[in-house]
Amino acid sequence: MRLCFLVEEQYRHDGMPLDVIRQLDAWGHQVDVLWPGRSLISLSDAIQAGSHDAWVLKTVSGGPGLTLLEAAATAGLTTVNDVRAIRGVRDKALAAVIARGTGLPVPVTYAAARPEEFAEIPETEFPLVVKPADGSSGRAVRLVATPDRLRDPAEPTGTGDPGAPGDGLLIAQPYVPNSGTDLKVYSVAGELYATERCSPLHPAHAVRERQVPLTPEIARITAEIGTVFGLDLYGVDILLGPEGPVVVDINDFPSFRQVPDAVARVSAAILDLARNGTTGAAGRPANGQLTAGQAGAMPSTATAAAPPFTAPPAPPVPPAPRAPRPAASIGGGR
């Protein structure tokens, strides 16, 4: 198969997706890599109907790669995830509306252009978690204890770019009391895996990130998110609050840390999606609600034990032998 990966600057040395690219290459598939933001891309040559079996995007929110992925979809190419699904979760304000409208457990959400505008929220709803609607990797997320602290400068949080939010929309949600840890639940084409980790708002809480069993309720919520948004490869951040699980973030193509054989599993899932198509809009019912059949098809139990991984079969016609390529030149142009 022939695949095209869009890898943005922040992920140029990241094992996810670079190790996936190497794995697909080792299995005999042709992988082209484009680097939006740091190289010239000939749109006329790169994006043509039938040029690739699928395009895959690893990007930060607001990065140029999503526009290129949308262009590929417009040309009729398969995208992983479906490009409409990515748009639905990249905008956190839009994601909150979609999730709450389908009954998913998300906090009440407010939006404003400037943090001081959140002072109109009743003080009984403080503390608030304030973050950019187009943020990623925990960038510029902050906990605001009282309305008079809204103008305080943001302190760096998360694992991504520590810069403050730009001119885009901000969202605010009431803080959900928790133990200082959250769950990151990954879905690899229907297989679910959960890890416990330190919450970005509690960096001093020393917790070793580790895989943990999934409860039936968490498994159901995670699977429902995939159906509602039309996602195939995704991650969900869940807090265990006093009233039960609360979804606080959804990510397309996350790191898949702690997933057993993550590189091989994600690589195999991408090949399967390239062959058979992604969930996309078909995963989201027209009225936003799940049918009884869809709800019944969701996993009722899940554990930390992963099924044995079996590598996908080699392509029917093996490519001609070629010399191994150094990691720095995969797909060219790095």
> pTM for the complete prediction?
0.83
| Per-residue pLDDT, 184 | 95
The CATH classification number of 181-297 equals: 3.30.470.20
Q: In whole angstroms, what is the distance from residue 117 CA to residue 170 CA?
A: 10
CATH of 2-89+310-329, one of 3.30.465.10, 3.30.420.40, 3.40.50.20, 3.40.50.11810: 3.40.50.20
Strands 2-7 and 142-144: what pairing?
unpaired
308-326 per-position pLDDT tens digit: 666 676 665 444 444 444 4
Picking from 262, 187, 237, 192, the residue whose alpha carbon sits closest to that of residue 16 is 262
Peptide bond into 287 cis (omega under 30): no
228-267 per-position pLDDT tens digit: 999 999 999 999 999 999 999 999 999 998 899 999 999 9
The CATH classification number of 108-174 equals: 3.30.1490
9-57 per-position pLDDT tens digit: 888 888 899 999 999 999 999 999 999 988 899 999 999 999 999 999 9
Q: How confident is the model at residue 76 (pLDDT cuts 50, 70, 90)?
A: very high
Q: In whole angstroms, what is the distance from residue 253 CA to residue 235 CA?
A: 7
Domain ranges in the chain are 2-89+310-329, 108-174, 181-297
Four-residue CA torsion sign, 119, 121, 126, 130: negative
Compute the average pLDDT of residues 291-318. 50
